[in-house]
A and B are shown apart, each in its own frame.
Chain A
């Protein structure tokens, strides 16, 4: 059974860079799209970005200028970097898998809460 586990700092200062890692176990990163999705407190889901294991990327236009997603097949990890954070970036960040054939997210991590505050 595939499992996804997000990790990263729980607190980031305004204007700094947020870096998160998603560790994938029980399966390979190959042949899937790897996504980051966030949920601000009490709000809905917001897709951030995806990366296909071969390197193709796609970013939410509203975040594209500040986001970088990467995949390390050797470590079975997916990473997210979000630059110049503000309080509006406070959210639970989820890693999610999307099969190449489908356009839905069939596996999710438990999420990690990131608070942006000085």
Chain B
């Protein structure tokens, strides 16, 4: 059971727009911690896709965008391409009695139809 909740899968046809949600709580996203997103292509290590809710690292296409509101964040992929078929993970921090710790969402598999 992940602290951040993502849908297990989303799909879309090439060229379409898909969104992936990341639902948290008052101890993580709602506490002001940023959401970060990673793309994991099959058989490879995760790659930073979006950081600080909506910023793109150099080299990431502007087809990828992120947003955050309250206790939720979302990743949008516009103009879906075959090469976008991958697993996507959101990440943040969570505050507990034992301190703040890194947390990930369970991951969302994007399928290009």
Listed in ascending order, the chain A residues whose CB lies under 8 Å from chain B are 35, 37, 44-47, 50, 58, 60-61, 94, 102-106, 108-111
A47, B34: Cβ atoms closer than 8 Å: no
Q: Would you give the shortest CB distance from B105 to chain A, in whole angstroms?
A: 7
Whether a CB of chain A sits under 8 angstroms from the CB of B82 is: no
Listed in ascending order, the chain B residues whose CB lies under 8 Å from chain A are 2, 33-34, 36, 38, 44-48, 51-52, 57, 89, 91-93, 96, 98-107
For A106, the chain B residues whose CB sits under 8 A away are: 48, 51, 57
A103 to B100 alpha-carbon distance, docked (Å): 11
For B106, the chain A residues whose CB sits under 8 A away are: 44
For B48, the chain A residues whose CB sits under 8 A away are: 104-106
Indicate which residue in B45, B91, B96, B103 contacts A104 across the interface (CB closer than 8 Å). Answer: B91
For A94, the chain B residues whose CB sits under 8 A away are: 45-46
Q: Name the CB-closest residue of B to A4.
A: B45
Indicate which residue in A44, A103, A111 contacts B89 across the interface (CB closer than 8 Å). Answer: A44
A109 to B47 alpha-carbon distance, docked (Å): 10
A61, B98: Cβ atoms closer than 8 Å: yes
B45, A60: Cβ atoms closer than 8 Å: no
Q: Name the CB-closest residue of A to B4.
A: A44
A61, B101: Cβ atoms closer than 8 Å: yes
For A105, the chain B residues whose CB sits under 8 A away are: 36, 38, 46, 48, 91
Known: A35-B102, A61-B101, A106-B57. A45 touches B89 (CB 8 A): yes
Indicate which residue in A45, A60, A104 contacts B107 across the interface (CB closer than 8 Å). Answer: A45
